Structure 1
Amino acid sequence: MRLSVFISTILVLGLIETSTAQLNRSIPSEKPKLIVELVVSQMRFDYISRYWDKFGDNGFKLLVNEGTYCRNARYNYLLTQAYPGLATIATGTNPSVHGIIANKWFNRNTGNEVEATADDKVNTVGGSFFSGKYSAKNLVTSTFGDELKLNNANSKVVSIALDAGSAILLGGHSANGMYWFDTEKGLWVSSSYYTDALPAWVDTFNSKGFAKLYTDREWKALQPIQEYEEADTAAVKSDEKKKSLAEKLKGMMDGIIGKPQPKTDFKVLLENPYGNLLTKDLAIAAVVGENLGADEHPDLLCITFSANRFIGSKFGPHSIEMEDTYLRLDRELAHFLEFINSTVGKENCLFILTSDQGVASTPDYLEKSKIPGGYFDPKKAMILLGSYLNALYGQGNWITGYHDKQIYLNRKLIEDSNLNLADFQQKVADFMLEFSGVSNSTTAHNLQNGNFANGIMVKFQNSYNQRRSGDVIINLEPGWVERNGKVTSANSPYDYDSHVPLIFYGWKAKRKSVLNPVYINDLAPTLSILLGITWPNGATGTPIKEMIE
């Protein structure tokens, strides 16, 4: 009898101990031990609802169903490109302040094109000579990750993406680990701006040869081709356009979407979903290798799935390739969430999913539904503009550059010709309105001297940086995109380019849907408030009240 009582007592105590452990695990820590900022590049807001029925239960659906879903989150500036978007997420302010006005811009002093994160003064760490010559020198404000490090030297910041710009701009200036993919050697690399040598865990990961394994893998449709609803004729080669959809699908019955590239061409990973798989694998290795989320000092892990951007620009948002990419990413997301929950714990990790930009439907796709749209050809436009200026002011090299809807004028020639710069800019702006597809144009003079409270000019002003922006900036009509060698692009203030998902999941994130307007530059201030640290030094956003209440 005594033995049975003793055994029963032990069992009860064991159950109490187990229940207490489970209860403690379900109680969120005072501060999150790990913050994961996951950016799915070029993810339009409508992708979640479009592919909802085909998603599994533990990826995108899990975030939406159990997290705080901001359904009305947007970028509030004109030139919605990837790098300005990533910088906005990280800094809590717009391009006018953080300085990353575009993926590339024109340098008036040197007369050269500037890549947002290129830096010839740093060296590659761990890869080919040119693959690591990047830094955050052009980002003129601090990021959330920078402020986290300043607040607590024991906090770690790690940022990962296939391309250097995505990793750097989301991670900031002072990250412990900053890694991107060297498409020449198939290795994850960094730059001397951040480190002198790769940590052992990155070397170990590189030695496993996952990059070659995924490069050699053929991209086949995840589901039978007949089940895919997306089909964008713009993704079909010109000599195939006359084929019927039935013929096109018949040619794809074996499920092949993309033919394998040469085995040594690692660039293929930029344009297929296995690049996302490789990125997720390294993110998991980073959590283990850096012991992220293992103590009371909050860590930050930044992940950008940038392959989606390259796939979307090549095939368009309404394509089988795009649909298949998201179905695969849903699985990778589910696996990553399961890993984080088993290692760090959902209650200790604040997970944020958003995007750096949207993307426009291809004009060819819109044409099928009789929706207006078209391609604006900047090369032809600049030729005609040059002829107009020569006729008006005499022969001269009046235009020094054109980049992403920004026209840079030869200010020295204008000054030497005793011409008024503001008047010259206005002449150019007025002329650009004569082109089909151009909706608005304004000058640097107007943006510097105006103070706009609402309307499209606010978005112009939020994109404009006096040191880096052009003399004249244009905006195209809805449905119009620049002809740049790709089937489509972003870079407009319209909903399809500016409206993106924003979801908080995990640590103290309530299950709710937020319909109030939210801007993406509100994210960094929100995280700063939650952690009780200083905001990024250029932040202009407002904390999202539904997350801090």
Structure 2
Amino acid sequence: MILTRRTWLLAPVLAALAACANPPSASSPATGAAPATPGPATSPFAAKPPPKLVVFMVVDGLPIRQVLGYRDQLQPDGFKRFLDRGAWFANAYYGHGYTVTAAGHSIMLSGAYPQRSGIIGNEWRDPMTAAPQYNTADPRYQYIGNKTEPLAGTSPNNYKVETVGDVLRTLQPGSKVIGISGKDRGAILPAGHKGTAYMYMGGSGEFASSTYYMDKHPAWVDAFNASRPADKFFGKTWSPMLPEAAYARSVPDGQPWQANSGNGNRLPAVLGAGMDGPGPRFYGNILPSPFGDELTLAFAKAAVEGERLGTGDRTDILSVSLSSHDYINHAFGPESRLSHDHFLHLDAYLQDWFKYLDAKVGRGNYIAVLTADHGFTDTPEWAKSQGRDAGRINPAQVVGVINAGLSKRFGEFRWALNMSGSGVIFDEVAIKIGGLNPDDVYAVAKASVEQIDGIQVAFTRAQLAGTDTTTPYLEQFRRSWYPGIAAPLQVVPKAGWMFGSRVTGTTHGSPYEDDTHVPLLTWGPAWVGQGRIEQRVEIVDLAPTLSAILHIPAPKQAQGRLLPLPAK
């Protein structure tokens, strides 16, 4: 692996960043000082040699309710390897409020919420200038051999904390840390500052790294891309895994609220239908199909072999974030047959993946962990048909209502500029010129936005910086709020409601169970026991636990504690 032209995030830098972070509330373990966890010498894993390979897996947008809801239809050794022969947590949650992909991926291997990491969302706007920001954008670097669009994700520069892999490579430079995903943020954030990330290029069908990590790809990456593996899916049919009757528990295809672009909204679906041959549009359509995961796992196998992962005398980490489920749930809803069927395809892919790892790395040499970056909210139209309160909130309406309230109080003007992440930003220059107290402006905006149908509550900067721990959802949004990056007014939709101007599909990003309750599954007979654990845990607990298994200190900004794994 070529490691050039990178900047290291060393301990002194982390200490300085910690001093700049939002002072956490001391009333909660998740926001106060990190709970004391056993050091490497005193942890329950101290007597066990660390694994040769950590296989860390993320299924983007997978709620635990789907894993358990389709358990009777699973393959013998896919998800069931975890559920039947591993240790898994039935009540694993995210504790932050704005549950989106980048935030989730930033938490898993750092153990730090966005209030410390600075990764408040996928994208946001600078609160002072309103300039667009992207979580892994870094204009100093470009994709290798592929076009780099403005704000493309190319480095972890915005990520203000270290990961398990960063600690591992600081102490053991010979260890390898590889992050792979269909999304740049899904590869870059788990790889941390000292790993190497490879992401799928929707314009070419290749996997590529960026010049943050290296000047040119290793030979194994060039060989993989030269074989044009994405082209092999042209004309391939996505067909249901099971007979029609097996999908009675999910919503049929072709509903008016299901997006009908890309590969359509009915099965079977032929990839590349109506196209002359593989090209950017086709390559983009691979991800919202099961074949996006198949292609990602093929690249992961190439990485295992090309980097000889798990064969040295040091532990390696391989992070694989499978993106397709998120795209499918966004387009069709987690209640859909398309989502149901994709999950079954994914289960079959996992079975093949584990068979490969058992043969290549050895069953006794690796530990596998699987989680998700967030869950998913049901499509509002489907939820309403079931008698639930649900709906869509147009972001432009939010800004308009706030401006109406502010103009009535402070004079006609466009005081609120845009929604940013989970909040609203304002014309701070105009507020200053007008001699107004910003906190007074935010308070009026709060009162205005809370009158909109579908809005649960809004939190001002003063609330987010305060110590109140009794107001519902405030603590969760405090964990999502990083001063100077996050908007000064955070807006929370009601359960079942979502922000968006589109009339099809659904999303995530709320503090409610549908979006926060995710799988946390482990397998590794030499390190973890077996069984279902009912105790509530948080995903921030994963980083300290993996660190203990690897006999290294937890990341400095980690806010979790050791998971209560069953004894071996």
Indicate conservation of the 8 Å contact 2:94/2:517, yes or no: yes
Query: Which of 439, 445, 451 is matched with 2:456 structurally?
Result: 439
Indicate conservation of the 8 Å contact 1:126/1:188, yes or no: no
**What CA deviation, in whole Å up to 9, does each residue of 1:347-403 have, x standing for no partner?**
210100000000001111112221111111211221222222223212323112212
Once residues 219 and 39 of structure 1 are traced to their aligned partners in structure 2, the CA distance between those partners, rounded to angstroms, is 22
Amino acid across the alignment from 2:463: N
Once residues 406 and 218 of structure 1 are traced to their aligned partners in structure 2, the CA distance between those partners, rounded to angstroms, is 41
Once residues 37 and 235 of structure 1 are traced to their aligned partners in structure 2, the CA distance between those partners, rounded to angstroms, is 35
1:260 match: 273
Once residues 466 and 133 of structure 1 are traced to their aligned partners in structure 2, the CA distance between those partners, rounded to angstroms, is 22
Once residues 398 and 71 of structure 1 are traced to their aligned partners in structure 2, the CA distance between those partners, rounded to angstroms, is 45
Query: Which of 493, 499, 508 is matched with 1:490 structurally?
Result: 508
Query: Which of 226, 239, 242 is matched with 1:220 structurally?
Result: 239
Amino acid across the alignment from 1:63: F
Distance 1:184 1:539, change over 3 A: same
Distance 1:113 1:233, change over 3 A: farther
1:294 match: 311
Is 1:315–2:332 an aligned residue pair?
Answer: yes
Once residues 511 and 253 of structure 2 are traced to their aligned partners in structure 1, the CA distance between those partners, rounded to angstroms, is 23
2:178 partner SS? strand
2:410 match: 393
2:127 match: 108
Is 1:328–2:321 an aligned residue pair?
Answer: no
Distance 1:457 1:317, change over 3 A: same
Query: Which of 156, 163, 186 is matched with 1:136 structurally?
Result: 156
Please give the residue correspondences for 1:486-525 in structure 2 after superposition, counting only pairs within 5 Å. 486-506=504-524, 507-525=526-544
Please give the residue correspondences for 1:369-384 in structure 2 after superposition, counting only pairs within 5 Å. 369-384=386-401
Once residues 100 and 502 of structure 1 are traced to their aligned partners in structure 2, the CA distance between those partners, rounded to angstroms, is 21
**RMSD (Å) for aligned C-alpha atoms:** 2.2
Once residues 64 and 299 of structure 1 are traced to their aligned partners in structure 2, the CA distance between those partners, rounded to angstroms, is 25
Once residues 229 and 185 of structure 1 are traced to their aligned partners in structure 2, the CA distance between those partners, rounded to angstroms, is 38
1:9 match: none
Amino acid across the alignment from 2:556: N
Per the TM alignment, residue 165 of structure 1 is displaced from its structure 2 partner at its CA by 1.0
Query: Any gaps of 5 or more consecutive residues in structure 2?
Result: 1-46
Once residues 383 and 253 of structure 2 are traced to their aligned partners in structure 1, the CA distance between those partners, rounded to angstroms, is 10
Distance 1:234 1:272, change over 3 A: closer
Once residues 253 and 482 of structure 2 are traced to their aligned partners in structure 1, the CA distance between those partners, rounded to angstroms, is 35
Once residues 404 and 129 of structure 1 are traced to their aligned partners in structure 2, the CA distance between those partners, rounded to angstroms, is 23
1:281 match: 298
Indicate conservation of the 8 Å contact 1:490/1:497, yes or no: yes
Amino acid across the alignment from 2:339: M
Amino acid across the alignment from 2:326: R
TM-score normalised per structure 2: 0.86
Once residues 235 and 524 of structure 1 are traced to their aligned partners in structure 2, the CA distance between those partners, rounded to angstroms, is 41
1:147 match: 167
Query: Which of 179, 182, 192 is matched with 1:172 structurally?
Result: 192
Distance 1:508 1:133, change over 3 A: closer
TM-score normalised per structure 1: 0.89
Is 1:355–2:372 an aligned residue pair?
Answer: yes
Amino acid across the alignment from 2:154: Y
2:54 partner SS? strand
Indicate conservation of the 8 Å contact 1:354/1:503, yes or no: yes
**What CA deviation, in whole Å up to 9, does each residue of 1:493-538 have, x standing for no partner?**
1111000000110142111211111100110011111212122121
Per the TM alignment, residue 232 of structure 1 is displaced from its structure 2 partner at its CA by 3.7
Distance 1:407 1:534, change over 3 A: same
Amino acid across the alignment from 2:52: K
Amino acid across the alignment from 2:158: N
Distance 1:326 1:238, change over 3 A: closer
Once residues 466 and 335 of structure 2 are traced to their aligned partners in structure 1, the CA distance between those partners, rounded to angstroms, is 41
Once residues 96 and 90 of structure 1 are traced to their aligned partners in structure 2, the CA distance between those partners, rounded to angstroms, is 15
Amino acid across the alignment from 2:306: G
2:76 match: 57
Per the TM alignment, residue 89 of structure 1 is displaced from its structure 2 partner at its CA by 0.2
**What CA deviation, in whole Å up to 9, does each residue of 1:170-223 have, x standing for no partner?**
111111x31011111211111111111111111111111111112442322223
Indicate conservation of the 8 Å contact 2:405/2:445, yes or no: no
Identity of aligned residues (%): 27
Is 1:66–2:85 an aligned residue pair?
Answer: yes
Once residues 278 and 71 of structure 1 are traced to their aligned partners in structure 2, the CA distance between those partners, rounded to angstroms, is 30
Amino acid across the alignment from 1:350: I
2:561 match: 542
Deviates more, 1:402-411 or 1:40-49: 402-411
Once residues 234 and 138 of structure 2 are traced to their aligned partners in structure 1, the CA distance between those partners, rounded to angstroms, is 28
Distance 1:238 1:545, change over 3 A: closer
Distance 1:69 1:460, change over 3 A: same
1:545 partner SS? coil
Query: Any gaps of 5 or more consecutive residues in structure 1?
Result: 1-27, 242-250
